[in-house]
Chain A
Amino acid sequence: MDLLLAAYVDGVVEADDRRFVEAHLSECAACREDVARQRAVRRLLTAQGRTASGVVPPGLETRVAARLAAERPPAVVGGWGIRVSAFAAAALVVLAAGAVLLPVVTSRSTVVLAAQLALDHLKCFVLEPHDHGETVTVADAEAELKTDYGWDLAVPATGGTPDGRLVAVRRCLYGDGRAAHILYLVGGDAVSLFILPGLERPTEELTLLGQDGVVWSRDGRTYVLVGSAGLGSRLHSMASNLRNGAE
């Protein structure tokens, strides 16, 4: 009966048990008294329990937050508030300073291609000055690609995921500017879609500089999708959606 009474007081007893308890209560004054007391205690605790424990010491929250912040690896906040690991950002600085530029069109290696584009992805999102309010419509992006490259290309509006947002279209630094670089923000993560003319390549997935990349070719163009490794399977489903022409 102890077990059931507590549950009865809390109103979580099942229908059959409730009838059983109520039948008993109708005959047992001691138990009725007990239920009333338990309810009174419960009301009191709900109302006063926390305040009886006093106020939170000032500064505790700050101290806890600071301690947790110290647990995280040091990171760089780049353009658009993107967090990039300090390692990747440092590597990027070294490479950009060394002006490592290889013509994309002559590169046979998908790894080299992806590495160059991963660098450009990081460079555009981390190092370049940007305008916080910068957005670009699909129409603008397509017009730009037509003007700059002579391409009639449908620009995916969200990059293959519902919460993707188109933010910019750039001429890619590498490959003599022959690659189009479309920048998206997915939640707080940066994703780049590069489109290059020609180069039939088998579909591949790679990881470099903390970024994941998916490479595929279609209709005489090569596509490379690059995003933070933290995106995990999101990036791959975005690539699938784009490949299958979901947009």
Chain B
Amino acid sequence: MSKPRIAFFDFASCEGCQLTVVNLEEALLDVLQHVEIVSFREAMKEHSDDYDIAFIEGSCTRASDEERLKKIRGNAKIVVAIGACATMGGINALKNTRPLETVRKEVYGDKWELFDTYRARGVDEVITVDYKVNGCPMTQSEFVKVVKALLTATTPDIPTYPICVECKQNGNVCVFEKGETCVGPITRAGCGACCVNEGAVCWGCRGLIDDPNVDAHKEVMEKYGLTVDELKNKLNLYFTNANLTK
């Protein structure tokens, strides 16, 4: 059987997810035993439009991106969105919270119309996406898990419970106990609560769990005497496109 041909593409992003692939180091050489990379602009000169699996990093932020996305969808049998920008708009969606014209003028002044842009969105708003690898940057172990599932034609096991489950397993002191705010209670697990483990908070980069209990989150806030306003700036970071109840 010939090796599956895979390609990487990027749209508006920091390319940190593709770097996460490179950061597999020696393990990447093992992956290369099983697949053939035919396009990866950031790392190789060769390019082919003949591929089976397309990994897409980055958000769609302008009409011209849609054509490129549709072409990729047309070429690929399987499309995998990698990282928060591609799965849900990611940090790019912060610009959606303010009037677009204001945003454009703030950055490019009176030449703002020279550069096209629209509401930042995940690629699944434009094309059908078969799999998602969550996180900002994408969770490396989840990427490996999805690649393995694709190669063995199985379904990757992506958690449907919140970060708090993993965070408690790790024995972390709850962020709320420390008087800080966190969006772990409504964020999809799978990263092992990596940021809280490092003394930070959960920022929500893996996206909402399937059925987020926003009311329960509010109760947690009340328990610790916090207002929703105090959490709002964190809810805004990654959930701008999710239309959470206010």
Are A and B physically bound partners? no
- Seen from chain B, the residues whose Cβ lies within 8 Å of a Cβ on chain A are none
